[in-house]
C-alpha cells in the first residue's frame, strides 16, 4: 500500500551528483520510504547549453552505486515540453499570463527607471494589456504578478517566510524562442507529478514564491515545502571542491562504502538520539523531517572516514574479497596466486586497520606481488648482519614446521627467541621488512601464515641475500 506522500529529487545534469545533492536526495528518499510514499527522480535538463549526457549518466551511476532505487523516473524535462506548452496556453487563455513584446533593452530601461526612483527593479507591466495592438512582433509570455499583498511560504523547516508581492516580477514563463523557463517547469512538473512535499536545499528558497505564483495561477494547491540547510566546510564556507572530494563517484573511487556515505550524509543534519550508526531500515523507521537540524551542517571528513572504517569492520567478507580482487586486477596483480580462503583471511586481518577499501587493497598488495620492493629506510635500519643471523635461524625453523598455521609460526618464533634470548621486536621487525617491504602490517604470525611457506621463505632468502651481498 502506498500513501499519497510523493517527493522528487530534481538534479540538473550540469554537473556530477555532489555531496549536498546526495544528501537532499537521501532526505527525500527516506522521507518517502518512512511514509510508504513514492520517491521520484526528475532530471532538470532544460538548460541546453550546460546539460550533458555524460552528467546524466554519471548521476544515474551515482545512485546505482548508492543503491537508491527510485519508484518513478528518471523523468527528463526535455521530454515534457508539451506539458509546459499546455500549461502556458491555459494561463494565457485564463488571462493569468500575457504576451509581452518588450525588447530586452526596454525591460532594462524599466529596471533602471525603477532603480533611479529607489524602487525594486522589475518589469513595469507595460504589456499586461497591450499585446493585441502589436500582433506581429516576437513575444514572450509573462505571468501577471499581484501588485499588493503577500505570498507566504509556510516552510516545515524555515518557518513562515513572507514575500511582498510588490517585490515580485511579472516573471517570464516562456521565452521569445519558445523555451519554458526554469521556475515555470519546476512548478508545472510538481503539479503534474502530484508532489506532496518539496524537499530541497534552502538555496532554492528565493525561487519558491515564483513557483507558488504558478500554482496559484493554475489554481492548484501548493505542496508542503521543506528547505534544508546547506552543508558547510570547516571554514564555514559552502561546501565545494576546495574542501576535497565533492562528487559521490569520487567517494566510490576513494574506497568508501555506499552504506557509510549514506549513513554519514543522513546524520549530517538529522539525528535520532545519539545513535551514530544506522542501517537503511533503521533510518527508514525513524526518519522525520521535523528532526532535521535547521542550522547549517559542517562537513567533517574525519568522521566520514571513521564511519567508513566501522562499516568495513563489519562488512561481509565475500564483498571485501571481491573488492580486493577487483582492486588488485586494476593494478595488474592476479588475486588467485592465493586461494580465496587465504584472501578471506587477508581481508579479515586488514578490515580492522583500513579506513577505506583503497587502504585495504594498498595494505594487501605485498601478499600478491612476486618481488616486493623494500622500503630503503626500513631495510637499512632492520636488515643488518645482526638480524640476519636471527632471520636465518627463523627461516630454518619455519622450514621445519608442519602446517604453516599462525600458531606453528608463533612457536617457531618463540624457539628462536628463547634460544637467542631476544624479544619479539628484535626478530619480528626485520622479518616484517623482509616479507612486506615495510614496517607496518597485520600481526607477523598471521601475515606469514597467510603468505604461505613458499612465498615467506623466498622473501626471507631474498632479504638474507641482500644483507650478505
Ligand atoms: N534542479 C535544481 C538543482 O539542481 C533543483 C530544483 C528543485 O529541487 O526544485 O538545484
- Concatenating the DSSP letter of every residue in 15-78 gives S--BHHHHHHHHHHHHHHHHTT-EEEEEE----TTT--HHHHHHHHHHHHHHT---SEEEEEGG
Give how far Cα 123 sits from Cα of 3, 134, 168, 296, 357, Å: 42, 19, 9, 35, 56
Ligand 1 atom 2 nearest Cα: 11
Half-sphere exposure of 93 (CA within 13 A, CB side): 5
H/E stretch holding 435 reads helix 424-436
Domain presence at residue 224: yes
Domain presence at residue 370: no
Does residue 222 share a domain with residue 99? yes
Give distance in angstroms: CA of 183 to centre of ligand 1. 10
Domain presence at residue 174: yes
Does residue 329 share a domain with residue 196? no
CATH of the domain at 302: 3.40.50.620
Nearest ligand 1 atom to the CA of 14 is 4
Ligand 1 atom 6 nearest Cα: 10
Give distance in angstroms: CA of 256 to centre of ligand 1. 26
Domain presence at residue 371: no
Does residue 164 share a domain with residue 207? yes
Structural domain that includes position 428:
376-467
Q: What is the pLDDT of residue 120?
A: 86
Q: Which of 119, 237, 241, 341 is catalytic?
A: 241
Q: What is the pLDDT of residue 241?
A: 76
Helix-strand-coil split of the chain, %, nearest 5: 55, 10, 35
Nearest ligand 1 atom to the CA of 211 is 9
Is there a contact between 342 and 452 (Cβ–Cβ < 8 Å)?
yes
Report the C-alpha gap between 219 and 221 in whole angstroms: 7
Does residue 176 share a domain with residue 133? yes
Q: What is the pLDDT of residue 135?
A: 64
Q: Which of 8, 10, 15 to mutate to test the pocket of ligand 1 (most atoms within 8 A of CB)?
A: 10
Q: Which of 41, 76, 200, 205 to mutate to test the pocket of ligand 1 (most atoms within 8 A of CB)?
A: 200
Residue 356: cis peptide before it, omega within 30 degrees of 0: no
CB of 20 within 6 A of ligand 1: the answer is no
CB of 44 within 6 A of ligand 1: the answer is yes
Does residue 306 share a domain with residue 321? no
Report the C-alpha gap between 408 and 56 in whole angstroms: 56
Give the global pTM. 0.93
CATH of the domain at 458: 1.10.10.350
Does residue 334 share a domain with residue 309? no
- Split into its structural domains, the chain has a count of 4
Map residue 383 onto helix, strand or coil.
coil
Nearest ligand 1 atom to the CA of 190 is 9
Q: What is the pLDDT of residue 12?
A: 96
Strand partners, 225: 155, 198
Domain presence at residue 12: yes
Spell out where 203-306 has E strands. Answer: 224-228, 231-232, 297-298
CB of 186 within 6 A of ligand 1: the answer is yes
Nearest ligand 1 atom to the CA of 9 is 8
Grid cell digits, residue 368: 600478491
241 has catalytic annotation:
yes
Does residue 393 share a domain with residue 277? no
Does residue 47 share a domain with residue 13? yes
CB of 12 within 6 A of ligand 1: the answer is yes
Does residue 423 share a domain with residue 334? no
Report the C-alpha gap between 73 and 214 in whole angstroms: 23
User: Strands across the sheet with 97-100, in order?
Assistant: 97-100, 140-143, 172-174
Does residue 305 share a domain with residue 272? yes
Q: What is the pLDDT of residue 133?
A: 60
Q: What is the pLDDT of residue 136?
A: 78
Written as tens digits, the pLDDT of the chain (469 aa) is 789 999 999 999 999 999 999 999 999 999 999 999 999 999 999 888 999 999 999 999 999 999 999 999 999 999 999 999 999 999 999 999 999 999 999 999 999 999 999 888 999 999 998 766 666 789 999 999 988 999 999 999 999 999 999 888 999 999 999 999 999 999 999 999 999 999 999 999 999 999 999 999 999 999 999 999 999 998 988 887 778 768 999 999 999 999 999 999 999 999 999 999 999 999 999 999 999 999 999 999 999 999 999 999 999 999 999 999 999 999 999 999 999 999 999 999 999 999 999 999 999 999 999 989 999 999 999 999 999 999 999 999 999 999 999 999 999 999 999 999 999 999 999 999 999 999 999 999 999 999 999 999 999 999 999 988 7
CB of 393 within 6 A of ligand 1: the answer is no
Amino acid at each position: 500500500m502506498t500513501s499519497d506522500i510523493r517527493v522528487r529529487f530534481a538534479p540538473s545534469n550540469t554537473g556530477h551528483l555532489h555531496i549536498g545533492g546526495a544528501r537532499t536526495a537521501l532526505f527525500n528518499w527516506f522521507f518517502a520510504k518512512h511514509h510508504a510514499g513514492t520517491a521520484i527522480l526528475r532530471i532538470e535538463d532544460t538548460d541546453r547549453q550546460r546539460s550533458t549526457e555524460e552528467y546524466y549518466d554519471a548521476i544515474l551511476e551515482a545512485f546505482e552505486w548508492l543503491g537508491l532505487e527510485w519508484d518513478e523516473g528518471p523523468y527528463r524535462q526535455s521530454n515534457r515540453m508539451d506539458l509546459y506548452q499546455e500549461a502556458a496556453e491555459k494561463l494565457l487563455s485564463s488571462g493569468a499570463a500575457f504576451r509581452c513584446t518588450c525588447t530586452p533593452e526596454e525591460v532594462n530601461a524599466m529596471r533602471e527607471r525603477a532603480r533611479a526612483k529607489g524602487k525594486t527593479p522589475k518589469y513595469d507591466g507595460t504589456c499586461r494589456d497591450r499585446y493585441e495592438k502589436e500582433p506581429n512582433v516576437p513575444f514572450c509570455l509573462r505571468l501577471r504578478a499581484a501588485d499588493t499583498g503577500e505570498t507566504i511560504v509556510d516552510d516545515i523547516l524555515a518557518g513562515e517566510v513572507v514575500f511582498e508581492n510588490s517585490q515580485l516580477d511579472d516573471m517570464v514563463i516562456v521565452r521569445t524562442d519558445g523555451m519554458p523557463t526554469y521556475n515555470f517547469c519546476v512548478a508545472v512538473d510538481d503539479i503534474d507529478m502530484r508532489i506532496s512535499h518539496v524537499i530541497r536545499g534552502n538555496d532554492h528558497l528565493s525561487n519558491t514564491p515564483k513557483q507558488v505564483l504558478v500554482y496559484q495561477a493554475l489554481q492548484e494547491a501548493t505542496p508542503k515545502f521543506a528547505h534544508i540547510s546547506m552543508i558547510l566546510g570547516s571554514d564555514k564556507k559552502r561546501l565545494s571542491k576546495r574542501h576535497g572530494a565533492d562528487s559521490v563517484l569520487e567517494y566510490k573511487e576513494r574506497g568508501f562504502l555506499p552504506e557509510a556515505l549514506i549513513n554519514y550524509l543522513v546524520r549530517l543534519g538529522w539525528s535520532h538520539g545519539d545513535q551514530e550508526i544506522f542501517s537503511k531500515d533503521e533510518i527508514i523507521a525513524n526518519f522525520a523531517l521535523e528532526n532535521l537540524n535547521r542550522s547549517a551542517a559542517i562537513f567533517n571528513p574525519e568522521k566520514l572516514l571513521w564511519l567508513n572504517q566501522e562499516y568495513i569492520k563489519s562488512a561481509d567478507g565475500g564483498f571485501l574479497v571481491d573488492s580486493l580482487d577487483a582492486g588488485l586486477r586494476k593494478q595488474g596483480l592476479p588475486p588467485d596466486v592465493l586461494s580465496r580462503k587465504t584472501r578471506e583471511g587477508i581481508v579479515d586481518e586488514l578490515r580492522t586497520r583500513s579506513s577505506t577499501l583503497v587502504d585495504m587493497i594498498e595494505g594487501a598488495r605485498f601478499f600478491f606481488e612476486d618481488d616486493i620492493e623494500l622500503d630503503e629506510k626500513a631495510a637499512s635500519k632492520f636488515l643488518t648482519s645482526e638480524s640476519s643471523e636471527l632471520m636465518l635461524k627463523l627461516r630454518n625453523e619455519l622450514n621445519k614446521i608442519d602446517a604453516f598455521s599462525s600458531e606453528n609460526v608463533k612457536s617457531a618464533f618463540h624457539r628462536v627467541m628463547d634460544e637467542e634470548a631476544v624479544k619479539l621486536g628484535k626478530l619480528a621487525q626485520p622479518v616484517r621488512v623482509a616479507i612486506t617491504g615495510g614496517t607496518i602490517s597485520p600481526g607477523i604470525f598471521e601475515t606469514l601464515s597467510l603468505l604461505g611457506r613458499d612465498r615467506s621463505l623466498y622473501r626471507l632468502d631474498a632479504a638474507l641475500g641482500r644483507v650478505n651481498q
